[in-house]
Structure 1
């Protein structure tokens, strides 16, 4: 049975990637709100997630993410809002040091 947390992780990943692409190389996306509604369980097979921009601003980006099963039935609907923060000198070094 697909855990709801796995759907949330997939949704946040897709929305964050979209936000980073929107923000470009001068911004970093930081998730500030994730809302997931789980519609049905999935016991086997593959799921597919599609992130669609709802708002693409200068300082925030919001995506609707729809996760569907192999038959195209909606499994989860999520909404993610990311803050788009300016990249500061040393941000990359902090990320590398954390790992």
Structure 2
């Protein structure tokens, strides 16, 4: 990984301070126009009442990488990316370990992007597959740019 890529990841991860990314310990590990990847250890805050990974946490992780992947394709000083629609198939239960979510583009339009997201565990077993549609909207005058934050 080159220095420019490392700096981009550092800025993106710093922009997550004080957000759900920090609360759930989600770390961006790769960010390019071709794919965005994040890791997340499974801990007590990720579990539902009977001790398994909460499906909503997987959906949150999927939407995070899809939205940040859209940021790689827009003028983030003028535009923002918001999850518009998401579906997820939870394929395998997990109680612990580490997850890796990878978003790759299916469609990149002017106002919507569609992403394929695959979430795997530390043994590369598929845990969840998701498709996420992201809306690309104009940034309001006071909107914070995640690439400038932190």
Identify whether the pair has TM-score above 0.5, normalized to the shorter chain.
yes
Question: What corresponds to 1:21 in structure 2?
Answer: 72
Question: What corresponds to 1:33 in structure 2?
Answer: 85
The structure with more strand, counted as a fraction of residues: 1
- CA drift of 1:80 comes to 0.8
In 2, Cα distance between equivalents of 1:30 and 1:44: 29
- Secondary structure at the counterpart of residue 72 of structure 2: helix
Asked if 1:43 corresponds to 2:95, the answer is: yes
Question: What corresponds to 1:9 in structure 2?
Answer: 60
More deviation, 21-30/8-17 = 21-30
- CA drift of 1:24 comes to 2.2
In 2, Cα distance between equivalents of 1:89 and 1:47: 36
Structure 1 residues not aligned, in runs of 5+: 93-99
Structure 2 residues not aligned, in runs of 5+: 1-51, 145-150
In 2, Cα distance between equivalents of 1:41 and 1:54: 26
Q: Which of 60, 66, 70 is residue 118 of structure 2 equivalent to?
A: 66
In 2, Cα distance between equivalents of 1:70 and 1:89: 42
Kindly report the root-mean-square deviation, in angstroms, between the aligned alpha carbons of the 2 structures: 1.1
In 2, Cα distance between equivalents of 1:31 and 1:37: 17
- Secondary structure at the counterpart of residue 98 of structure 2: coil
If asked which structure has higher relative contact order (CA below 8 Å, sep 6+), I would say 1
The structure with more helix, counted as a fraction of residues: 1
- CA drift of 1:90 comes to 2.7
Runs of 4+ in 1 over 4 A off after TM superposition: none
